[in-house]
């Protein structure tokens, strides 16, 4: 983490600030900063300063700004060689505009006023690169919520990621996409208020196969159909590519519902293509590991990730678990033959064909969401029956109840 020294000049006096954070953006934004931008633009877009005065910046060394990190500013030294910028209109905050320590949300037609200080942490239910998810109790109403907590000083977080997750969840009308009720900000953390589900399909896989059992193929078809329906909704209705499809981002509850979640790295499509390359390593498609120059990534990259996810749920085994390193794993994805289900009689031809159509090395050879929903594996799924089956199957494997 690079350290820089900043002092605030109010009139003629130097007034040191204890700490602030700066973020050089993601992808092209970061390269633009490195390529050169005015101090005014840098100050206005990159870190917090006090409301009035002249921010003065001085580097304690000549280390070039890294394009791979955000960094904290700690203010200790005089700023006699610092560069000045005009006073800013207000304090910069990477949180999306409009967030405060309280908000009004609507759940099942009931409007609830939520204050951050009224939320009681019950337990952590998930953690990732961009934050953690807590099960929380809203004390005045006794409502239980899932709350994603994103620390604004996290070097991997920027405003667009937070805004994207809020917008996608707010706007959803699909029963297959996780609902976001609203957002708060408190003590340098953004609280994203979401509906609470009971488990992820990743945890379900571990519980089921850890108990020497398996997921029935009819149930797998139902869960897959719900996931594909959610992804197709995001693509068709919101022009969004998820870009981080994996079992831990597929949630289920005791009512038998299955929903896609985690839109922090999703992106708007540009003529069905997204230019930035993000996602979890094990599920990356070949073209995302070894892209051509200026290569864009379409929704078919998510189809590859979907195929690996369904394979893991079908077999109980993690894909590429036999590789010794991340490099070896990614090398196999790019240069090796795509994975296929065993042909030992455990899996139907319909499921094998579904996996094969997802895991085609050439992107244009993969099925899209519409074709997958019309495949033999998903076409005949009875949603009501599948929901009932999952509602009966899931409780055996929640909270350590597997026998």
Q: What residues pair up with 14 in beta bridges, in sequence order?
A: 9
Q: How far apart are the C-alpha atoms of 217 and 25, rounded to whole Å? A: 44
pLDDT score, position 99: 75
- Which value, to the nearest 10 degrees, does the dihedral of the CA atoms of residues 249, 250, 253, 258 take? 150
Please choose, from the candidates 132, 96, 93, 139, the residue with its C-alpha nearest in 3D space to the C-alpha of residue 115: 139
pLDDT tier at 63, thresholds 50, 70, 90? very low
- State mean pLDDT over 45-56: 35
Q: How far apart are the C-alpha atoms of 271 and 117, rounded to whole Å? A: 43
pLDDT score, position 375: 98
Tokens of 113: 């006023």
Catalytic residues: 244
DSSP helix/strand/coil, 136:
strand
102-194 and 199-397: identical CATH topology: no
Phi-psi region of 246 (alpha: psi -120 to 50; beta: other; left: phi over 0): beta
Please choose, from the candidates 203, 212, 191, 96, the residue with its C-alpha nearest in 3D space to the C-alpha of residue 146: 191
State the average pLDDT for the chain.
73
The CATH number, out of the four listed (3.30.200.20, 3.40.50.1010, 3.30.470.20, 3.40.50.410), of the domain defined by the range 102-194 = 3.30.200.20
How confident is the model over 336-359, as pLDDT tens digits?
Answer: 899 999 999 999 999 999 999 999
For domain 199-397, the CATH superfamily is Transferase(Phosphotransferase) domain 1 (1.10.510.10)
How confident is the model over 283-321, as pLDDT tens digits?
Answer: 888 888 775 644 556 789 899 999 999 999 999 999 988
> What are the backbone dihedrals phi and psi of residue 258, each rounded to the nearest 5 degrees, phi first?
-130, 130
Q: How far apart are the C-alpha atoms of 271 and 19, rounded to whole Å? A: 42
Q: What residues pair up with 115 in beta bridges, in sequence order?
A: 102
Q: What residues pair up with 16 in beta bridges, in sequence order?
A: 7
| Per-domain boundaries in the chain | 5-84, 102-194, 199-397
Apex 68 CA angle, 156 and 296, nearest 5: 85
Residue whose token pair is 């604004």: 152
Tokens of 145: 């919520």
How confident is the model over 99-151, as pLDDT tens digits?
Answer: 788 888 888 888 999 999 999 999 998 876 667 889 999 999 999 999 988 87
Q: Which residue has the higher pLDDT, 390 or 152?
A: 390
**Other CB atoms within 10 Å distance of the CB of residue 215:** 20
Query: Has residue 193 got a pLDDT over 80?
Result: yes
DSSP 279-314: S-GGG--HHHHSPPTT--EETHHHHHHHHHHHHHHH
Does 113 carry a binding-site annotation?
no
Please name the residues in contact with 53: beta carbons below 8 A apart, sequence gap of 6 or more: 8, 9, 10, 15, 87
Host H or E run for residue 16:
strand 13-16
């Amino acid at each position: 983490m690079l350290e820089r020294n900043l002092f605030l000049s109010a009139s003629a006096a130097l007034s040191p600030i204890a700490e602030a954070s700066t973020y050089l953006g993601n992808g092209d934004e970061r390269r633009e900063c490195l390529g050169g931008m005015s101090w005014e633009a840098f100050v206005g877009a990159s870190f917090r300063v006090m409301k009035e005065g002249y921010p003065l910046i001085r580097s304690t060394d000549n280390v070039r700004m890294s394009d791979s990190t955000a960094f904290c500013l700690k203010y200790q030294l005089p700023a006699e060689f610092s560069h000045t910028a005009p006073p800013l209109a207000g304090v910069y905050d990477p949180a999306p505009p409009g967030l405060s320590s309280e908000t009004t949300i609507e759940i099942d037609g009931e409007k609830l006023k939520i204050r951050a200080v009224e939320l009681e942490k019950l337990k952590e239910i998930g953690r990732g690169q961009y934050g953690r998810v807590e099960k929380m109790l809203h004390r005045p109403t006794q409502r239980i919520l899932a709350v994603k907590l994103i620390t604004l000083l996290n070097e991997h977080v920027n405003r667009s990621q937070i805004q994207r997750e809020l917008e996608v969840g707010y706007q959803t009308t699909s029963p297959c996409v996780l609902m976001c009720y609203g957002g708060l900000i408190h003590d340098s953390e953004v609280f994203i208020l979401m509906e609470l589900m009971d488990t992820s399909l990743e945890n379900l896989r571990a519980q089921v196969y850890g108990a020497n059992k398996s997921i029935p193929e009819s149930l797998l078809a139902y869960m897959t159909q719900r996931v594909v329906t959610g992804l197709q909704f995001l693509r068709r209705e919101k022009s969004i590519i998820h870009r981080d499809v994996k079992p831990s981002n597929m949630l289920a509850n005791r009512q038998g519902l299955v929903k896609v979640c985690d839109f922090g790295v999703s992106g708007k499509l540009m003529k069905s293509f997204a230019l930035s390359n993000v996602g979890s390593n094990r599920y990356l498609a070949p073209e995302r590991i070894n892209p051509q120059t200026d290569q864009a990534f379409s929704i078919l990259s998510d189809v590859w990730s979907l195929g690996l996810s369904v394979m893991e749920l079908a077999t109980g085994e993690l894909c590429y678990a036999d590789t010794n390193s991340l490099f070896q794993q990614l090398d196999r994805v790019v240069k090796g033959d795509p994975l296929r289900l065993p042909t030992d009689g455990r899996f139907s031809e319909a499921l094998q064909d579904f996996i094969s159509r997802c895991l085609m090395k050439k992107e244009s050879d993969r099925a899209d969401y519409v074709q997958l929903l019309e495949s033999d594996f998903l076409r005949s799924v009875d949603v009501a029956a599948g929901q009932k089956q999952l509602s009966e199957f899931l409780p055996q494997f929640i909270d350590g109840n597997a026998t």
